[in-house]
Amino acid sequence: MPFLGQDWRSPGWRWVKTEDGWKRCEPFSPALEDGNNQLNDVSHTVIITRDEENEEVYNTEDCEFAAKKRKKDHFRKNTDSQCFYREKWIYVHKESTKERHGYCTLGEAFNRLDFSSAIQDIRRFNYVVKLLQLIAKSQLTSLSGAAQKNYFNILDKIVQKVMEDQYNPRLIKDLLQDLSSTLCILIRGVGKSVLVGNINIWICRLETILLWQQQLKNLQMNKQVNNGLTLSDLPLHMLNNILYRFSDGWDIITLGQVTPTLYMLSEDRQLWKKLCQYHFAEKQFCRHLIPSEKGHIDWKLMYFALQKYYPIKEQYGDTLHFCRHCSILFWKDTGHPCTASDPNTCLMPVSPQHFIDLFKF
């Protein structure tokens, strides 16, 4: 039976996860009760402020408003007080019920899951960027105005992070390219498609994207000065094992450009064969056999040819999870208030494409 609070529009109590289980989070700590009582007494007095030029007398309603504001400011500034727990999960419901009205939208989920903090985690960075890329390709017009603003704020943080840390700029370049192409089509087709917001705002956003692309194009990698052990000092079998851990062909090619030894290892036929077998089924690459001049199969060309026809497997350090028992979408580290006897059996990792599909009605 759902809990009904004092305000019928309220979702109920807020809960925080502890070592002993989920506990209800109170808005104010007991230490503030005495202070709040003192502030309540102020609302029944008359405040007179004297100035050199004029004199103002506030009535009781103004005093009550001032008292409430002081209580709020006192609560925010008190670091020892216990505040509301901000959930980083969202209930995915696709129909209206007596307990819940309306639908869960893509924009609502995008705002609630705190992607701003997720991009600071190297395990989730690629996942969030891929999700933003899928939204840019097909779901940009389905975002609300607030979600669009949040989308571009997160994108700004991603670009700044890449400029500072120089982490995976190729992935961000692909995202900006897809986003700029989508915006060009949408701006030209004003009236034919739904664009939330003024057209001038979207033109400014497009100009910002073009500026980001130029900044990434001019990005210069900082040369690391290190007198210790480097990648080139590792034995050949260790370098070979590193290359076999890569799941992206472009990463292998990029690493092969560092030294002649790495280039030799990156051109190994067996390496590219294993990569093709990992991403594609045997029936798929049997249809697109590309023989070399010596009559052998050119597995490197095969990989990039198959990539045009079939999707490759995606690997992420951390992903969003969906609880089949609670129908809740959440980050696994933050958890959610699950009522199942064994929550781990109900969890399902959610790929970026699956995330988009969850909100298609």
- Has residue 323 been placed in a domain? no
The string of pLDDT tens digits covering residues 273-303 is: 899 888 888 787 777 676 666 667 888 888 8
pTM, full prediction: 0.66
The string of pLDDT tens digits covering residues 107-154 is: 788 778 888 888 888 888 999 999 999 999 888 888 888 888 889 999
- Domain of 283 in residue numbering reads as 248-309
Distance, in Å, from the CA atom of 351 to the CA atom of 361, rounded to the nearest integer, reads 18
The string of pLDDT tens digits covering residues 312-321 is: 888 888 888 8
Domain count, the chain: 2
Q: Is 150 exposed, middle or buried (0-12, 13-18, 19+ CB in 10 A)?
A: middle
Segment among 6-10, 153-157, 256-260 with least mean pLDDT: 6-10
pLDDT-derived band at 3 (thresholds 50, 70, 90) equals very low
Which residue type is seen at 279? H
109 with 209, same domain?
Answer: yes
Total residues belonging to the chain: 361
- Has residue 193 been placed in a domain? yes
- Has residue 158 been placed in a domain? yes
190 with 294, same domain?
Answer: no
109 with 214, same domain?
Answer: yes
- Has residue 203 been placed in a domain? yes
Segment among 5-14, 273-282, 340-349 with least mean pLDDT: 5-14
109 with 162, same domain?
Answer: yes
- Has residue 253 been placed in a domain? yes
Task: Record the tokens describing residue 255, joined without a space.
Answer: 């690493």
CB neighbours (10 Å) of residue 198? 9
- Has residue 255 been placed in a domain? yes
**Between these two residues, 69 and 265, which has the higher pLDDT value?**
265
- Has residue 116 been placed in a domain? yes
**Which sign does the torsion angle of CA 229, 233, 238, 240 carry?**
positive
Q: Is the pLDDT of residue 31 over 80?
A: no
195 with 285, same domain?
Answer: no
CB neighbours (10 Å) of residue 295? 6
**Between these two residues, 241 and 230, which has the higher pLDDT value?**
241
